[in-house]
A and B are shown apart, each in its own frame.
Chain A
Amino acid sequence: MSKTPAALFDKVWDSHVVRHIEDGPDVLFIDRHFIHEVTSPVAFLGLESRGLKVMFPEKTFATADHNTPTINQHLPVEDPLSANQLKALESNSAKYGISHWGLGNPKNGIVHVVGPENGITLPGMTIVCGDSHTSTHGAFGAIAFGIGTSEVEMVLSSQCIMQPRPKKMRINVNGKLGKGIVPKDVVLYIISKLTAAGATGYFVEFAGDVFENMTMEGRMTVCNMSIEMGARGGMVAPDETTFNYIKGREKAPKGEAWDKALAYWKTLKTEEGAFFDKEYEFNGADIEPMITYGTNPGMGIGITKHIPTAAQIGSSKATYDKSLAYMDFHEDDTMIGKKIDYVFIGSCTNGRIEDFRAFASVIKGRKKADHVTAWIVPGSHIVEQQIKEEGILDILLAAGFQLRQPGCSACLAMNDDKIPAGKYAVSTSNRNFEGRQGPGARTLLASPLVAAAAAVTGFVTDPRELI
């Protein structure tokens, strides 16, 4: 009997099942667990109340990011509640022997930026974190997904979680991307086609030459936003691009261990004829620079298009009307030319060096529009350092921008980086939900190029006119 062809997802999942429960979830072994200050304190309290220990402290990594200020990080954190969470992360990590990159540590940064850049994230792993954008790590051919605090407690105490096996979806994008089309556009395009719930219940594999030709940074941007179409996670098969990115990073395997790991990683591909519950095909040449107009990431359009009707996007009229009323936009409006107030570049979606290079390529030789407030926030200290070394900081300063310090910042506005009520922000982050960037804030999700074009003109602008 011939063996059933396996998908990349099956290979990784099956090699981590400790036990399958009849009519129930799988007990899944977790290779890497990231924690941060917001979703871990209650999990540690749970451990204490049950008298449990951390089973494998060396498999958990802590970094402070959600709640941290992005200016004056050398000073004590002003908000007592934020300071308290940061302190809890530090003391819990110390107590249980967990590696902790707190505020001020040169390795500190957004959890989904620092994991990959330090070689903690590797192909074939299972990776979880109490944060839905853990899907980012799928770019390496890992099964990576966000979990709740009860599950954080499970992983701390047993290195396992209990998960029903998701269905499989493959999204193929082939063809040549046009000028000015970057990975963020590709993923916003896919989400606009599938809707914000189109992949709920599925784990997605991104396949096709568009992803094969992407850098690791680009693949991370795409996998990061798989959750925005409802997917548990997204993954890309590891290849030479992946291996070259990992090789030599601090915590990556070295010497013989590298050779052994590499031989295994090369087997992590979907076999011909593998089964998928659902499959989509898109043509890369159809993708325009994207922008969102509504209050979920599925409400995105090509930047030259008009806002579609409720029926065209399969939404109920009440939900659609509520969304556009919040944005103060109208059906059939064109997005080009809308005045904007804020620009945010950063987050686990677009806070990597490639994103700042793209931003700089547009603003170089231009000036920030007077009425625009811009927050430029690197994803980590390592990215911050690269920005300085590559001369991007000089370009930013010459154009009237300032560079802030790393953290999640205005993506979720837990710290002071809040967009004021009623103001419009072009943001390279991942969610345009009501109030996401501050109570009453209006978010337009877009790529670093679209953000840069808006920052220098003060209006929604097609970046292809500036590059």
Chain B
Amino acid sequence: MAYDKFTVLKSTAVPMPIENVDTDQIIPARFLKATERKGFGDNLFRDWRFENDGTPKKDFVLNNPIYTGKILVGGKNFGSGSSREHAAWAIYDYGFRCVVSSFFADIFKNNSLNIGILPVQVSEAFLDKIFKAIEANPKTELEVNLPEQKITIVGDGASESFEINGYKKHNMTNGYDDIDFLQSLKSDIKTFSEKSIY
């Protein structure tokens, strides 16, 4: 599925300083019953965000109008657990384009990159600095520069570089996906398959 190209994103951010945010929290299993990819943002963090009757929980960060933006900042080990890509879809559909954490679960990271969300892994110290900056001023902006692989706390000026492999970076900046690339390898794949014993 096509997604928006990602180059430089400057935005305020939503802080969620909880560790081990698993994909069951991001989107509970009972909301995985669709056969199309739409509307998942409505149920993003469903059980943290809403009471059983659908009333918003006042103390949850997404219900606090002070915090807005296209960047979600989470505690370490973000996206653990189930492989459901629906978690990444829900985050994207809600309006986030980037998730910042000091550590990501592998499958969530792959899923995010495949649908156009940039996972930015920073040091524990820098993550702490971001949380403190947002706590002091909720209007703090972050600038995520993919071509330069750099994240900056705007105003404060503190920055850190982040890792991404060259292939994925090229895909993200151009809005390409792996399926297009794999289609171009089909004759190699066919030849390869002929030597398989399975």
Chain A interface (Cβ < 8 Å from any Cβ of B): 18-19, 21-25, 27, 29, 31-32, 38-39, 41-42, 45-46, 49-50, 52, 55-56, 59, 66-67, 79, 81-82, 84-85, 88, 122, 125, 130-132, 145-151, 153-154, 157-164, 166, 196-197, 200-201, 227, 230, 232, 260-261, 264, 296, 315-316, 318-319, 322, 412-414, 421, 431, 433-436, 439-440
Considering the chains assembled together, what is the distance between the CA atoms of A196 and B75 in angstroms? 14
Q: Tell me whether B1 is interfacial, beta carbon within 8 Å.
A: yes
Closest residue on chain B to residue A156 by CB atoms: B179
Considering the chains assembled together, what is the distance between the CA atoms of A50 and B177 in angstroms? 12
Q: Provide the residues of chain B in CB contact with A132, threshold 8 Å.
A: 81-83, 107
Q: Provide the residues of chain B in CB contact with A82, threshold 8 Å.
A: 33
Considering the chains assembled together, what is the distance between the CA atoms of A431 and B29 in angstroms? 12
Q: Tell me whether B37 is interfacial, beta carbon within 8 Å.
A: yes
Q: How far is the CB of A96 from chain B (nearest CB, A)?
A: 16
Stretch at the interface among B4-12, B17-25, B60-68, B151-159: B17-25
Cβ-defined contact, B22 with A433, below 8 A: yes
Cβ-defined contact, B18 with A318, below 8 A: yes
Q: How far is the CB of A358 from chain B (nearest CB, A)?
A: 26
Q: A23 contacts which of B18, B76, B115, B166 (Cβ < 8 Å)?
A: B166
Considering the chains assembled together, what is the distance between the CA atoms of A59 and B198 in angstroms? 9
Cβ-defined contact, B196 with A196, below 8 A: no
Considering the chains assembled together, what is the distance between the CA atoms of A45 and B81 in angstroms? 25
Cβ-defined contact, A164 with B165, below 8 A: yes
Do A322 and B29 form a contact, CB below 8 Å, given A147-B83, A261-B197? no
Interface string of B49-83 (1 = CB under 8 A from A): 00010000000000000000000000111001111
Closest residue on chain A to residue B181 by CB atoms: A162
Q: Tell me whether B148 is interfacial, beta carbon within 8 Å.
A: no
Chain B interface (Cβ < 8 Å from any Cβ of A): 1, 17-20, 22, 24-25, 28-30, 32-37, 47, 52, 75-77, 80-86, 88, 103-107, 110-111, 114-115, 165-168, 177-179, 181-183, 185-186, 188-189, 192-193, 196-198
Closest residue on chain B to residue A22 by CB atoms: B166
Interface centre among A31, A197, A316, A431 (most CB of B within 10 A): A197
Considering the chains assembled together, what is the distance between the CA atoms of A108 and B167 in angstroms? 40
Considering the chains assembled together, what is the distance between the CA atoms of A160 and B166 in angstroms? 20
Q: Provide the residues of chain A in CB contact with B186, threshold 8 Å.
A: 55, 158
Q: What would be 21 A-B contacts, judged by CB atoms less than 8 Å apart? A: A23-B166, A23-B167, A24-B165, A39-B85, A45-B37, A55-B189, A66-B32, A84-B35, A130-B85, A146-B107, A147-B83, A150-B114, A154-B179, A161-B178, A200-B77, A200-B103, A319-B18, A319-B19, A431-B24, A431-B81, A439-B28
Closest residue on chain B to residue A79 by CB atoms: B33
Cβ-defined contact, A24 with B167, below 8 A: yes
Considering the chains assembled together, what is the distance between the CA atoms of A55 and B185 in angstroms? 12
Q: How far is the CB of A199 from chain B (nearest CB, A)?
A: 10
Do A29 and B189 form a contact, CB below 8 Å, given A164-B165, A434-B25? yes
Closest residue on chain B to residue A87 by CB atoms: B35
Q: How far is the CB of A255 from chain B (nearest CB, A)?
A: 14
Cβ-defined contact, B47 with A154, below 8 A: no
Do A81 and B198 form a contact, CB below 8 Å, given A39-B85, A196-B20, A433-B25? no
Contacts A25-B165, A319-B75 given; 7 further ones with Cβ under 8 A? A18-B192, A29-B192, A29-B196, A41-B34, A200-B77, A200-B103, A433-B81
Closest residue on chain A to residue B37 by CB atoms: A42
Do A148 and B85 form a contact, CB below 8 Å, given A23-B167, A158-B183? yes
Cβ-defined contact, B33 with A316, below 8 A: no
Interface centre among A19, A148, A158, A412 (most CB of B within 10 A): A148
Q: B105 contacts which of A81, A160, A161, A197 (Cβ < 8 Å)?
A: A197
Cβ-defined contact, B106 with A24, below 8 A: no
Do A23 and B165 form a contact, CB below 8 Å, given A147-B107, A148-B88, A201-B106? yes
Q: How far is the CB of B91 from chain A (nearest CB, A)?
A: 13
Q: How far is the CB of A253 from chain B (nearest CB, A)?
A: 8
Cβ-defined contact, B36 with A45, below 8 A: yes
Q: How far is the CB of A111 from chain B (nearest CB, A)?
A: 12
Closest residue on chain A to residue B18 by CB atoms: A319
Cβ-defined contact, B33 with A414, below 8 A: yes
Considering the chains assembled together, what is the distance between the CA atoms of A462 and B126 in angstroms? 45
Q: B29 contacts which of A196, A264, A414 (Cβ < 8 Å)?
A: A414
Closest residue on chain B to residue A67 by CB atoms: B33
Cβ-defined contact, B193 with A32, below 8 A: no
Cβ-defined contact, A150 with B189, below 8 A: no
Closest residue on chain A to residue B32 by CB atoms: A38
Closest residue on chain B to residue A146 by CB atoms: B83
Q: A158 contacts which of B18, B24, B104, B189 (Cβ < 8 Å)?
A: B189
Q: A197 contacts which of B1, B77, B166, B167 (Cβ < 8 Å)?
A: B77
Q: B106 contacts which of A59, A166, A322 (Cβ < 8 Å)?
A: A166
Q: Provide the residues of chain A in CB contact with B185, threshold 8 Å.
A: 18-19, 27, 158, 160
Cβ-defined contact, B29 with A412, below 8 A: yes
Closest residue on chain B to residue A49 by CB atoms: B1
Q: A196 contacts which of B80, B85, B165, B182 (Cβ < 8 Å)?
A: B80
Considering the chains assembled together, what is the distance between the CA atoms of A439 and B20 in angstroms? 18
Q: Provide the residues of chain A in CB contact with B104, threshold 8 Å.
A: 200
Considering the chains assembled together, what is the distance between the CA atoms of A439 and B107 in angstroms? 24
Cβ-defined contact, B177 with A150, below 8 A: yes
Cβ-defined contact, B196 with A31, below 8 A: yes
Closest residue on chain B to residue A198 by CB atoms: B77
Closest 5 CB pairs of A and B: A24-B167, A23-B166, A148-B85, A146-B83, A148-B111
Considering the chains assembled together, what is the distance between the CA atoms of A439 and B84 in angstroms? 18
Considering the chains assembled together, what is the distance between the CA atoms of A31 and B189 in angstroms? 12
Considering the chains assembled together, what is the distance between the CA atoms of A148 and B115 in angstroms? 10
Cβ-defined contact, B188 with A19, below 8 A: yes
Q: Provide the residues of chain A in CB contact with B30, threshold 8 Å.
A: 413-414
